[in-house]
Amino acid sequence: MRAVEDESETSPGGSRIERHDEAKPPEPVPGSWAGQELIEAHVERHIGPIATVFHELVSEYVHLDVLIVAPREERPWHTLVTCGMSSRPMEDGTRMELLIGLPPAWPLDDEALRDERNYWPVRALKELARMPHVYGFSLGAGHTVPNGDPPEPYGPGTELCGALIAWPAVTPDEPVESAEETKIFAVYFLHEDEMRLKLDRGFEALVDAFDDAEMTELVVPDRPSSLRRRKRFGLF
């Protein structure tokens, strides 16, 4: 399930729940746009040199590439940044790109990415970036998106089954310098109990749990839920 905004449906924690059932009719994909060069320059200025680009061969709604900054001494992990999500504004008129971090040993060559154990974070990143244009809504800081209804793990080898959109913890969060002021948000992949905490107690409760667990936007497929430590010490 994906879909329409329903302001009458609100979680106990005060989050408005949006359900997405039907995709919008496909629209022509925007061609090259000025923001592409600005995003690439922004990534190289604030994150690091772009080592590789995953170019999308077949596109719907938006043409979505993924820029990859390789690990280096000051940032010893891969950083993946979408480029193309912001070629169209979202429903509220804002423009956004998304990023994740992957461990330095994560295989990103073509052969390795045929294995869903390696590819699922890339696939999920692209699906999240395309979703506002497919279903006609907006993403912003504090929004959570389950992987299906009920949520299912993104791939083999992980129990993570949802995503939080929020400011990055270990990546500079300056907006792209452009007339539209495109913002680059991080994706934090979640356990089901973490999504439930956000719905039941609000975004700040989830942020507190993340702070306690020192969570960042770096993907760790087998990480335990950030709530387990809290439960062990009787905080919930």
Total-model pTM = 0.89
Angle at which helix 192-201 crosses helix 203-213, to 10 degrees, equals 140
25-32: long-range contacts at Cβ-Cβ below 8 A with a sequence spacing of 24 or more? 26/60, 26/61, 27/61, 27/133, 29/59, 29/60, 29/61, 29/62, 29/63, 30/62, 30/63, 30/87, 30/88
- What is the per-residue pLDDT for 232? 43
Residue 151 neighbours by CB under 8 Å, 6+ apart? 161, 162, 192, 195
Q: Over range 47-62, report the average pLDDT.
A: 94
Report the C-alpha gap between 117 and 134 in whole angstroms. 26
Domain extent, residue 135, equals 3-232
pLDDT in tens, 199-210: 999 999 999 999
Residue 178 neighbours by CB under 8 Å, 6+ apart? 34, 35, 38
Q: Is residue 230 predicted with pLDDT exceeding 60?
A: no
pLDDT in tens, 128-139: 999 999 999 999
Q: How many domains does the chain have?
A: 1
pLDDT in tens, 61-118: 999 999 999 999 999 999 999 999 999 999 999 999 999 999 999 999 999 999 999 9
Structure tokens given for 94: 């804002």
74, 39 Cβ separation under 8 angstroms: no
